Structure 1
Amino acid sequence: MSIWEALAVFAAGTAAGTINTIVGSGTLITFPVLLATGLPPVTATVSNALGLIPGSISGAIGYRDELTGQRRRIIRLGLAALVGGLGGAMLLLLLPSTAFETVVPVLVALALVLVILQPRISDAVQRRRERNGATDPHPDGGPLLLTTVMLASVYGGYFTAAQGIIYLSLMGMLLNDSLQRLNATKNVLAAIVNATAALFFLFVAHFDWTAVLLIAVGSAIGGQIGAKVGRRLSPVVMRTVIVIVGTVAIVQLTLR
């Protein structure tokens, strides 16, 4: 890897760490750069997963205030993310690299629709509960959220691109909480999935240590930048950012 390639990977890692903390889809920045340096697709995917761990942890630390009071929720969803992430990592080594190419843009598009409609749907659900005098039977999302988070984590362990958008759409639909607090939870789930997949890859897959270290340092810096920026965004602005990033992700995934 030349010095210019190394600088490009580091810059991509910083950008990915920043955007992952705010919304997700940072892999769409790092993955093409790693491919451009000559790494094979699976090696690039594995190296990217390893390198993004510090960024996910850094972003979660940056959102630590929003994590207050979410311990039970994070434990439940974190266990589902761990199982799903491990399953996705295994699939990466078993399935052809093109296995998810058709379904991923559809998943991201559906997630964006849910993100856009989430305020109206949540308001309708809340009004219905008030009319019926009922309380939320599943304050942590119940079995449905656990199952869908695990499935989203399978995808995250396989490729990671746009998994944050999928997490936010699922939690936004099934949890009655602010978007910033859900984003904090998303960062923790992404860290769990990346760490689980990475530990698996350490023993069974080939990766490039130079790329891993460059992305790791860059993403850790980016995680702090993303937390400072993301925590200041209003729900409307943040939702707009999610839709813009998700739309770019769909275009890139479709054309790739």
Structure 2
Amino acid sequence: MTPWEAVAIFAAGVGAGGINAVVGSGSLITFPTMVAVGLPPIVANVSNNIGLVPGSLTGALGYRAELKGQRERLLRLGTGSVVGSLIGGVLLLFLPASTFNVIVPILIGLACVLVVLQPKLNGWLNAWREHAHPHGGPWLWLGVFAAGVYGGYFGAAQGVLLIGLLGIFLDDDLQRVNAAKNVLSLLVNATAAVLFIMIAEVDWIAVLLVAAGATIGGFLGARVGRRLPAPVLRGFIVCVGVAAIIKLVYG
């Protein structure tokens, strides 16, 4: 890895940590960057997942005020995130690499669509909240479980999925929903990271670069991320995602 490639991965980590704290699509920056500098897609995905854990932690801590009173809810939903993440991680490691190469461009495309539609999703959430179950109910647990499988396998835009699910099924403020999203995303990433460290091939230099950047980015994202122009941020994420699809499909 050249010095400029290392700088690119570190900078991608900073951006991903900040975006994950606010939107939840940071892997659309770090994963394509790792692939662009020459890492095999599965190694890039595994290393990216491990590296983003510190950023997920600082992002969750940055929302600790909004987490007050959500302990029971997060303990219940967290089991779905952990179990789903384990299943997704196992699928990633044991399905053929060719399957990953086919599925991931589709998942990135889905993630880009979700990022673009997020404002519309927020409008739908406002309409649903008055009918929400006070504790989310079993359908929310199943949705969080499915998002955990997705996150353990790939993970880009899992935060957008979680915000949509939590906002629909919970009668709560959107900032508190976002805080809960950060904790559940942390559980998914950390669970998959433990699995990957034990049995997967990892590029530890890339992990350290992403981790250092994401730690800074997660802190900054929780502090100032809400001030970023949302259309500009979404446009940048979609451009990176489209570039990743082109790289993966046409190599």
Bin the TM-score by the shorter chain: 0.7 to 0.9
Aligned counterpart, 1:4: 4
The Cα offsets for residues 206-245 of structure 1, whole Å up to 9 and x where unpaired, read as 0111111111111000000000024568xxx76x678657
Alignment of 1:59-98 (within 5 A): 59-95=59-95, 96-98=99-101
The Cα offsets for residues 144-195 of structure 1, whole Å up to 9 and x where unpaired, read as 1100111011010111111111111111111111111111111111110110
- Supply the RMSD in Å over aligned alpha carbons: 2.5
Query: With structure 2 as the length reference, what TM-score do the two structures score?
Result: 0.86
Q: For 1:43 and 1:120, how far apart are their aligned partners in 2? A: 37
Aligned counterpart, 2:28: 28
The Cα offsets for residues 35-59 of structure 1, whole Å up to 9 and x where unpaired, read as 1222111111110001000000010
Q: Max radius of gyration: which structure? A: 1
Structure 1 residue runs without a partner (length 5+): 130-135
Aligned counterpart, 1:133: none
Aligned counterpart, 2:163: 168
- Number of equivalences: 243
Aligned counterpart, 1:100: 103
Q: For 2:244 and 2:4, how far apart are their aligned partners in 1? A: 26
Identify which of 184, 189, 201 aligns with 1:189: 184
- Kindly provide the amino acid, as one letter, of the partner of residue 17 in structure 2: G
Q: Stretches of 4+ moved more than 4 A in 1?
A: 110-115, 240-256
The Cα offsets for residues 120-164 of structure 1, whole Å up to 9 and x where unpaired, read as 5543662xx6xxxxxx6x312111110011101101011111111
Aligned counterpart, 1:145: 140
User: What secondary structure is seen at the aligned counterpart in 2 of 1:33?
Assistant: helix
Query: With structure 1 as the length reference, what TM-score do the two structures score?
Result: 0.85
1:165, 1:246 within 8 Å by CA — same for their partners in 2? Answer: no
Q: For 1:111 and 1:12, how far apart are their aligned partners in 2? A: 18
Aligned counterpart, 1:132: none
Structure 2 residue runs without a partner (length 5+): none
